Amino acid sequence: MPREAKIGATRGSHVYTMRLPADLREQWMSYCERNDKKAAATLRALMRYLIQDDMPPEVQKWVAKQIKGKPDTGPKERLEVRFTPTEYQGITTRAEAEGCSPQRWVINCVRASLTHEPQFTMETTKALWDSNYQLRAIGRNLNQIAKRLNEGEPGSVKAKQLEKLAGFIYQHTDKVSAVQDASLSRWRIITS
């Protein structure tokens, strides 16, 4: 019989390791001691709070500011690369198809390789903005439905309406997934 978790974690849980600057560690330990809190339990509580995504906007902005990466503001370094005629043709063809310059396409390829993150073109970025707009509209509709259900208006919302809305959501998430997959696979080298 599995034992009951006494520390907020189970045997199937994961261990996260992070580096803290010395001053932040001292402040954290001092905070926990002053408030009679255990460091690990408090971190788990903070994670749950962040996951719930219902924190006040000013807290969201502060957290985003704390974790946001700093842009690379130094001068750009020049690197000359020579391609074979067919490589160059392939690059210019792909760049044109994706609506960017060959230089931007090569830079995006390098960034995608170094960061393991997709690099979006303006066309893709606009599609994702549209996606966010659509998701916000769906969210507003769901809030209206939930409000009516909570007010006890059973006749105003029908199961078919909810099923139709769920269908729209699934279609939309499929489209967003396809865009994301296309962005990631765009940088794979195809050999054939």
Beta-carbon-side half-sphere exposure of residue 13 (alpha carbons within 13 Å): 10
124 pLDDT band, cuts 50/70/90, is confident
**CA nearest neighbour of 145 among 127, 158, 129:** 158
Q: Which amino acid is located at 176 in the chain?
A: V
Distance (Å, whole) CA 161 – CA 163: 5
Strand, helix or coil for residue 80: coil
The pLDDT of residue 92: 92
DSSP designation for 36: T
- Give buried/exposed letters for 139-170 (b at 16+ CB in 10 A, else e): eeeeeeeeeeeeeeeeeeeeeeeeeeeeeebe
Q: Tell me the per-residue pLDDT of 77-108, one tens digit each, with 9 for 90 and over.
A: 888 888 898 989 999 998 888 888 898 888 88
Q: Tell me the per-residue pLDDT of 135-178, one tens digit each, with 9 for 90 and over.
A: 878 877 877 777 777 777 666 666 677 777 877 887 887 777 77
The answer to whether the CB of 32 falls within 8 A of the CB of 39 is: yes
The pLDDT of residue 145: 77
**Lowest model confidence (mean pLDDT) among 14-23, 42-51, 90-99:** 14-23
User: Domain residue spans in the chain?
Assistant: 23-51, 85-185
Asked if residue 128 has pLDDT above 70, the reply is yes
